[in-house]
Amino acid sequence: MRLFERGPRNLWQTPAAVQMGRHAAAILSRLGEAEEDIRGYAAGRRGRLRVAAFATVGAQVLPKALARLVYAVVEGFGDARLGRDVYDAIRGNR
């Protein structure tokens, strides 16, 4: 399959080359998005935290520990008000 047509002094893309260029651009765009996602996971801005605990720990200790963790993390991003809202919600104050 030819991607280019050759003239005496020029090259021209065939329709197949134009289509492959579109695919390549889409792939590179998605690759950039994937890199951003991975950077977010690595920096702790994205992802899901799964926690397992015994019922007694889950009822008493875990909510307080998670509330403190979330409050500290959100406060570190500069929005202490949001951190306090999440902290209160986890503690059951709201």
**Are 18 and 60 within one domain?**
no
C-alpha pair distances (Å), 7 with each of 2, 20, 35: 13, 21, 40
**Are 56 and 89 within one domain?**
yes
Cα(77)–Cα(34) distance, rounded to whole angstroms?
23
**Are 36 and 63 within one domain?**
no
Per DSSP, helices labelled H in the chain are 15-43, 55-76, 80-91
Enter the tokens of residue 10.
């020029």
Expressed as residue numbers, the domain containing 19 is 1-47
pTM of the predicted protein model: 0.42
pLDDT tens, position by position, for the chain (94 residues)?
889 999 999 999 999 999 999 999 999 888 888 888 888 777 777 777 677 888 888 888 887 777 777 766 666 555 555 556 665 666 665 4
Give me the phi and psi of 47, to 5 degrees please: 120, 175
**Are 54 and 85 within one domain?**
yes
**Are 18 and 54 within one domain?**
no
Amino acid at 49: L
